[in-house]
Amino acid sequence: MTLLSVFIYVVVFIFSAIIHEVSHGYVAHLRGDNTAKLMGRITMNPLSHIELFGSILLPAMLLFLKSPILFGWAKPVPIDSRNFKNPKLDIPLVSLAGPSANLLLALVSGLGIRFIGMFPNFEVGFGASIQSFLYIMLIINVILTIINLIPIPPLDGSKVATYFMPRDVAVKYMNLNSFICLIALLLLLSSGGGWTLLHPVINFLVVTFSGIPY
């Protein structure tokens, strides 16, 4: 992969990760917690969200290593669940906001690819470049959606899962060591086994949205 390709992937990833975090902050604001808003985190300014390792170095490293799955993160928006109107419900809602935003970006990208495909003359010209960009946007956001819904702390899926747990179990579950869980996840994603598990789901969404297999 060329440096230009890596640059494009990382830029698209950073944009998608920022949308993810802003969505968390905005829904938290709607549900009564203004922490992210007061700290200036409900903004598209990259400087407010970029984390050097998670937003740039890790995605670039995975791309150079030809990992089948691109993964990383932006700085999590600060959320104080004590301010929520109904914490039991609002925590899963806020957690789902990020993956839902990524899924919407993926859908819009896929529809854009299908729309360009309706105009063969445009598709073989400048439209091909736009299609390539939209396909990168599609892939990254599908992967971000799926990975973030895995119910392992500190991913969003773990907070969604607590809605279905008794309170004491949920507290113990969320107190699992996030660093160890994250390392285990990265090892799984970088292995053939992780790709075998996730590829059918990724491919299903990519084909459904764009008509192009991954």
pLDDT in tens, 1-60: 677 788 888 899 999 999 999 999 999 999 999 999 999 999 999 989 998 888 888 888
Q: What is the pTM of this model?
A: 0.90
**What pLDDT is recorded for position 173?**
79
- Which DSSP string do the residues of 128-158 spell out, in sequence order? HHHHHHHHHHHHHHHHHHHHHTSSSTTSHHH
pLDDT averaged over every residue in the chain = 88
Q: Which of 40-49, 133-142, 174-183, 184-193 has the lowest mean pLDDT?
A: 184-193
| Tens of pLDDT, residues 56-84 | 888 888 888 777 777 788 999 999 999 99
- The answer to whether residues 84 and 95 touch, using CB atoms and an 8 Å cutoff, is no
pLDDT score for 22: 97
Quick check: is 51 catalytic?
no
Longest dimension (CA), the chain: 61
Q: Give the domain ranges of the chain.
A: 3-210
Query: Which residues touch 199 (CB under 8 Å, ≥6 apart)?
Result: 68, 214
Percent of the chain with pLDDT over 70: 98
Per-residue pLDDT at 95: 95
Could you say which of 16, 18, 21, 139 is catalytic? 21
Give the model's pLDDT for residue 1. 65
**139's tokens:** 């892939």
pLDDT tens-digit series, residues 20-31: 999 999 999 999
Q: Is the pLDDT score of 117 beyond 90?
A: no
Q: Which of 160, 156, 153, 143 is nearest to 184 (CA)?
A: 153
Buried b (16+ CB within 10 A) or exposed e, 20-52: bbbbbbbbbbebebebbeeeebbbeeeebbebe
What sign for the dihedral angle of Cα 184, 190, 193, 195?
A: positive
Answer yes or no: are the C-beta atoms of 84 and 31 closer than 8 Å: yes
How far apart are alpha carbons 131 and 137 in whole angstroms? 10
Mean pLDDT throughout 186-213? 85
